[in-house]
Structure 1
Amino acid sequence: MTEKHQLKLNAMKSVLLSDEVKWCGRILDGEGVRHDPDHLSALVALPLPRTAADLQRFFCACNWIRDSVVDYARVTEVLQDKLNGALANCSRTKRSAAAVQLQWLDEERAAFNATLHSIASSAKQ
């Protein structure tokens, strides 16, 4: 069957008859698919971004879990507006974004914390 579909198996990397498997930041088991808590805890532990480049990296890190976060677009809307505003007068490259220091309002800090909370709670689903 593997030859028919041109697949190669590596015995050293293969696990047979396992109750659960970690794969690409997710855990697959008999109950379904869930996110790996180790990956999520690292994401939730990120500090408040200091530059626009840090905020860009935060969004990139969140992209792999966005489908599991309820109302992701609504939860991150304030942060996305902050990023768009910070980069309005410069290019969106990492180099340009690294030079833009962010000043956080209370509402924006709350939105960042709400995003982290939503990510953390997505692990429990």
Structure 2
Amino acid sequence: MSESVEITMADKIDTALSEMAANNEKINVSQVAKRLGISNSAIYKFNPEKIPDIQTAQKRQKHKAESIAVGTENEQLKKEVESLKKLNLDYKALADDLRKQNESLWEHIQQVYNMYDEVLAERNGFAERLKHGL
């Protein structure tokens, strides 16, 4: 004597939901009905207790997709932060190089002013000697 196991429509809906979630297929009442080869109204009429299960699976799927999107966005932001840190270090090195160049130029400017002061003093000395006829 063999026992037959009757698979109810509720079981079929549960199986469809599991398979659709595993295959990352869009989940809603219409898609579940399509997968089972029945109408939407058949689910609403004969298995209304499964509607919350379908809605929960749909929300879970949406949450999973949002989590993946947030994770991807976080990874992109981390890469951007690392890139900005590297750029910051490059700019700091450039700023140090420019600071050194500025100091060197300032030293040269001071040397030119000192030379100018010497030339001016020498000119003034010549002017004084010419004035007194020496």
> Which TM-score tier does this pair reach, normalised by the shorter chain?
under 0.3
Name the one with the larger strand percent. 1
- Mark the structure with the bigger radius of gyration: 2
The two structures have a TM-score, normalised by structure 1, of 0.24
The two structures have a TM-score, normalised by structure 2, of 0.23
Higher relative contact order (CA 8 A, sep 6+): 1
